[in-house]
Structure 1
Amino acid sequence: MVLAARRSVGGVKMDRSSKLQPQREQRFVRQVDWNLFRQFHEIVRAGSVSAAARYLHTHQPGLSLALKRLEEQVGVPLCRRTPQGVELTPAGKMVFEQVTDVVEAIKMVPHVAMQAAKRIEGTLRLGMISDITSGELDEALSSFVRRHPDVTLQIDIGTWRGVLDAVAAGECDVGVTYESDSVPKIRYEPMVRESQQLYCGRSHPLFGSSIRNPATLADERFILAVADEPKDVERFRLHYDLGKNTVAYADDLTEAMRLIRLSAGIGFLPTIVAEPLGERLWPLLPVSLLPDYFIYLITSAAVPLSTPAQLFHEEMLRRLRAKPEFR
């Protein structure tokens, strides 16, 4: 039980507990070991104390003790140990959110300092899959180029796997790609949810048709954008045996779209790319059946970002997190 002494001064009630609260907070700030928060952050990100110990190149017992010390200083349990790793308590989730904000702010310190000193130069290397449509990406690029005229912008277009590998290897600073399976040491931020539709061209026999059962199209001549096919679309296609009569393999969506438009066969295309073509492409499947997936903004957790890359990444995160669906 906490007893709060009250007294009246000039008819106004004074609560001594309200004065004590800032004192407790100041004492906590003076006494807490800030390194414990960093270790807690890595434990949560890694999923277990042992995995975090390997990442931090330290010993597991010492990291377990650090977690215990932080819980003692905060005053409540933050994690529960499970066979699968650590599980955050409700308090732990709130603390992790606060610590993540602090970590992101600290990471930005040298970059913001350079920006204030007007010393931003170098190269921003972006890797992207083809035909990306994102207002947030366009606005961030426009703003970045305008504010940092001494930075060279290099954009490489590749397959989703090529973009992923380039970011993991440090050959690209920031990537825009889709990928269903999480890759270790790659940080993912969802940008936009995209769906794909099965299309045919204007002179194709199926033009104007509505197909309720995709399996009835298994024998149709198929155009496959093999290197640009998301795994979610591949699973959908294989489930209905689509593509067993593939007559053309395209390296990217642009070439696949050309062949579908010419009625060489049917094939999947992102709706956001194909819809502007209107009468030149016909959607064959009901909207309720369409496979969908996220397009992600990705960075490497193992390769530090350059100042231009860090500033652009932060610009993108601000815009993405302002979207209502990601709040």
Structure 2
Amino acid sequence: MKETGPQCEAERTARELDWNLLRTFVVLAESYSITDAANQLRLKQPTVSTALKRLEDRIGRKLINRSPGHYALTEAGRLLYREAVEINGSVLRLSTLMREMTDDVRGHVRIAMASHVVSPLIDQTLTSFHSAHPKSTLTIDVLSSSKAIAEVAAKRASFAICLVGDHSPGLEYRRMFREYFGLFCGPPHPLFGRDNLTISDLEGHSSVSFETDRLQDVLKPVTVMRAQAALGQKITGVSSHLEEVRRMIVSGLGVGPLPVHVAARDVRDGQLWQVPPFDDLPPIDVYLVWSSHAAKSRAEQILLDGLLQAIETTPIEERSYR
């Protein structure tokens, strides 16, 4: 007698599902159209359309709503995408893990890093790691914090060092260090070089800032500081990269926030000038983020353990940069 039921259906799906279809679907879900996905996959559009239909037939659900000017995942598509990203990440890591089964630690570590993260903890840990395991290699990708976390969730990055808003399930978070933000201007700005400034002197001046400088976002304390300084409502420039925010400040586009310890050298070199407020500056925490579900190579685990040990053995006071 042929068995039926949810368990049998699940086993049949697992047995018959083509894993390549899931990889194709991940690209489809992250694209703007079938044509965009086909270009990324280097396949013809009809081939990708056929693959999507095969997957929808296999799953028994419509996964993408398509019409002229409209391309969006269905609820079933969103659910499958979350699972497929993790499965695809695990499959991609298999060959890497097998290749690294040698006596020496030779693995590759990919870190997703927010722009211009400055901490002696990180530098010292990287020095120790390279000294102990010189055959291991490293990639540091500079991304916005949200994209860095997404790379970890998708198992495309070993771990991330970035700012954190909401905590995602399945990811682990450990505060790495705390930095304090101040307001700065560049040489072309009328406030540059002026002593005895008060916060009222900033009123009405234009500003530049980060894309996450919003009341509902991770840099909310910085948003509040800008508001208290009564800077003009118009933000003349934004970026998710600290180096570009710094560039706009130095170029005189407006007053902008930067971590005080990161800006210190530019202040000494006459490229930046700190303006009020000088007291009670807003603290922002930078986190180490990793997936507890991702299988890690020895190199990844050793470097992650080294960073965690550095955090645990260093008091937060010594990890706070004013």
Aligned to 1:312: 303
Per-residue deviation, 1:235: 4.6
Aligned to 2:8: none
Per-residue deviation, 1:124: 0.7
Is residue 272 of structure 2 the alignment partner of residue 281 of structure 1? yes
Per-residue deviation, 1:212: 4.6
Which SS does the other structure have where 1:289 is aligned? coil
Is residue 254 of structure 2 the alignment partner of residue 265 of structure 1? yes
Larger Rg: 1
- Looking at structure 1, the residues matched to 277 and 283 of structure 2 have their Cα atoms a distance apart, in angstroms, of 13
Match of 2:235 among 236, 243, 246: 246
Q: 1:224 to 1:286 in 2, by over 3 A?
A: closer
Gaps of 5+ in 2: 1-96
> What whole-Å deviation, never above 9, does each CA across 1:120-143 have from its counterpart, x for those lacking one?
222111111111111111111112
Contact 2:183–2:277 (CA<8 Å) still a contact in 1? no
Which SS does the other structure have where 2:300 is aligned? helix
Contact 2:199–2:277 (CA<8 Å) still a contact in 1? no
Q: What code does the residue aligned with 2:233 have?
A: K
Contact 1:163–1:175 (CA<8 Å) still a contact in 2? yes
> What whole-Å deviation, never above 9, does each CA across 1:5-58 have from its counterpart, x for those lacking one?
xxxxxxxxxxxxxxxxxxxxxxxxxxxxxxxxxxxxxxxxxxxxxxxxxxxxxx
Is residue 130 of structure 2 the alignment partner of residue 141 of structure 1? no
Aligned to 1:204: 189
Contact 2:177–2:316 (CA<8 Å) still a contact in 1? no
Aligned length: 213
Match of 2:159 among 174, 178, 181: 174
Higher relative contact order (CA 8 A, sep 6+): 2
Is residue 298 of structure 2 the alignment partner of residue 298 of structure 1? no
Which SS does the other structure have where 1:233 is aligned? helix
Per-residue deviation, 1:224: 2.1
Aligned identity (percent) is 28
- Looking at structure 2, the residues matched to 152 and 243 of structure 1 have their Cα atoms a distance apart, in angstroms, of 47
- Looking at structure 2, the residues matched to 222 and 232 of structure 1 have their Cα atoms a distance apart, in angstroms, of 16
Per-residue deviation, 1:269: 0.9
Q: What code does the residue aligned with 1:151 have?
A: S
- For residues 56-67 of structure 1, the aligned pairs below 5 Å read none
Q: 1:210 to 1:179 in 2, by over 3 A?
A: farther
- Looking at structure 1, the residues matched to 227 and 189 of structure 2 have their Cα atoms a distance apart, in angstroms, of 23
Q: 1:183 to 1:168 in 2, by over 3 A?
A: same
Which SS does the other structure have where 2:279 is aligned? helix
Contact 1:128–1:155 (CA<8 Å) still a contact in 2? yes
Q: What code does the residue aligned with 2:189 have?
A: H
Q: TM-score, normalised by structure 1?
A: 0.58
Aligned to 2:76: none
- Looking at structure 1, the residues matched to 122 and 209 of structure 2 have their Cα atoms a distance apart, in angstroms, of 27
Per-residue deviation, 1:149: 2.5
Per-residue deviation, 1:185: 2.2
- Looking at structure 1, the residues matched to 281 and 244 of structure 2 have their Cα atoms a distance apart, in angstroms, of 22
Is residue 312 of structure 2 the alignment partner of residue 321 of structure 1? yes
Contact 1:180–1:293 (CA<8 Å) still a contact in 2? no
Q: 1:240 to 1:204 in 2, by over 3 A?
A: closer
- Looking at structure 1, the residues matched to 307 and 225 of structure 2 have their Cα atoms a distance apart, in angstroms, of 31
- Looking at structure 2, the residues matched to 185 and 241 of structure 1 have their Cα atoms a distance apart, in angstroms, of 41
> What whole-Å deviation, never above 9, does each CA across 1:249-275 have from its counterpart, x for those lacking one?
234111211221122211111111111
Superposed CA RMSD in Å reads 2.8
- Looking at structure 1, the residues matched to 228 and 153 of structure 2 have their Cα atoms a distance apart, in angstroms, of 31
Per-residue deviation, 1:211: 5.3
Aligned to 1:157: 142
Which SS does the other structure have where 2:122 is aligned? helix
Which SS does the other structure have where 1:288 is aligned? coil
- Looking at structure 2, the residues matched to 231 and 183 of structure 1 have their Cα atoms a distance apart, in angstroms, of 19
- Looking at structure 1, the residues matched to 230 and 109 of structure 2 have their Cα atoms a distance apart, in angstroms, of 42
Q: What code does the residue aligned with 2:259 have?
A: P
Contact 1:224–1:243 (CA<8 Å) still a contact in 2? no
Q: TM-score, normalised by structure 2?
A: 0.59
Q: 1:326 to 1:198 in 2, by over 3 A?
A: closer
- Looking at structure 1, the residues matched to 199 and 281 of structure 2 have their Cα atoms a distance apart, in angstroms, of 12
> What whole-Å deviation, never above 9, does each CA across 1:86-143 have from its counterpart, x for those lacking one?
xxxxxxxxxxxxxxxxxxxxxxxxx9xx99x734222111111111111111111112
Gaps of 5+ in 1: 1-110
Contact 1:211–1:286 (CA<8 Å) still a contact in 2? no
> What whole-Å deviation, never above 9, does each CA across 1:265-307 have from its counterpart, x for those lacking one?
1111111111111232111123323111111111112323322
